[in-house]
Amino acid sequence: MSTTDSLSSRDAILATFDHFRDELDDHNDRRERLIKSSRDITNASKKVIFLLHRIMTEGDTEADDRALALRAAAKARDKLRDIQNMFAAVRGEVVGDRFWRYQKNVSPGLQEYIEALSFAHYLEHENMISYDEVQKTLCAEDGTPHFPLPVEDYLLGLSDLTGELMRFAISSISRRGGRLKASQVCTFVRACRAGQYNSLDLSLCSAIAVRPIFDMGLLSFPCTSFVRLIADVSVDFEGWTPFFRDLRKKQTVTSQSLEKIEDVAYAIAVRSSEYDIPPELLDDIVERTVTSSTYGGTYGGDRKRRRIDDLDGDEE
């Protein structure tokens, strides 16, 4: 081989590795940008959740719960629009099939956003937000999706919702009408756990949203059959645990959340049936029961405890 050929071959190899270097640098830079964006979205979504809890629990105890829920949802919608703009800003980073390459970097923020969005939706409509409704919030003005919504992220985000509903039910149970609200939340969480909500639509749940499942070889039948299967069954979180790695762990948390709501509700029902409790003392009983059931401690003023203890002594 001549010296000229050797130099040409060397230059070609160097050019190839320069190209590899540029691709790796571009990949790492894009990955870091998406991770930062996902963290920003996660933080903003958590603030929306805190806002909803604060409005629902710090409002006037005499206020109408329905009006309070609508006001909380309306304020959350404004904040959620800011988060949707953040998703729009990353659209150029995840064009086409590139989204699936960086899905793991986007998923944490996306799941937290779905949790916040579904919480606001529940307060406003008292039902579960559908797959289609979530996807529509991640679209441009012309209706073009910024990226396909993975079914995995949709289900995991909804699973996180049950924890927020548990906190909402327990924190608001001592409000006027709070015991009924806690019972409604308990029924809703139990229905989610048992798979009695159908929130996926065949016509709108794109086959591309479940593409990674087939890329990993987890399922062998056609993708369209899987999408139809999703449409034909309820959102049974437990039934999907074999297909989504993190769903089983979240299902354990869902079961714990349901158990906490049920424990408080049952404890209140038992204490209420033991005595002929005057209405003005019922909230005091509820407050003490909620605290001891959830945190293993007691709180409240001495005056409240004396009133409850006096009632117990009279019954004896």
- Per-residue pLDDT tens digits for 174-219: 676 677 778 888 888 888 776 555 454 433 344 334 444 444 444 4
Distance of alpha carbon 255 from alpha carbon 249, whole angstroms? 10
Q: What is the DSSP letter of 175?
A: S
Which candidate, 177, 164, 174, 180, places its Cα nearest to that of 260?
164
The pLDDT value recorded for residue 232 is 36
pLDDT digits (tens, 9 = 90+) for 92-135: 999 888 999 999 999 999 999 999 999 999 999 988 899 999 99
The pLDDT value recorded for residue 286 is 65
pTM, full prediction: 0.74
Distance of alpha carbon 102 from alpha carbon 116, whole angstroms? 22
Contact 207, 227 (CB under 8 A): yes
Question: In terms of pLDDT, which residue wins out, 39 or 185?
Answer: 39
Q: Which two tokens stand for residue 103?
A: 């899905």
pLDDT digits (tens, 9 = 90+) for 52-61: 999 988 765 5
**Does position 229 have pLDDT exceeding 50, yes or no?**
no
Distances (CA, A) of 147 to 60, 84, 100, 114, 309: 41, 12, 10, 15, 59
Helical spans, DSSP H, in 59-148: 65-89, 98-101, 103-125, 131-136
The pLDDT value recorded for residue 133 is 93
| pLDDT band of 73, cuts 50, 70, 90 | very high
**Does position 47 have pLDDT exceeding 70, yes or no?**
yes
Q: Which residues pair with 145 in a beta bridge?
A: 139
Distance of alpha carbon 163 from alpha carbon 182, whole angstroms? 13
CATH code that applies to domain 21-282: 1.20.58.2140
Lowest mean pLDDT among 76-80, 271-275, 289-293: 289-293
The pLDDT value recorded for residue 5 is 66
| Average pLDDT value for residue range 274-284 | 65
Question: What is the average pLDDT score of the chain?
Answer: 76
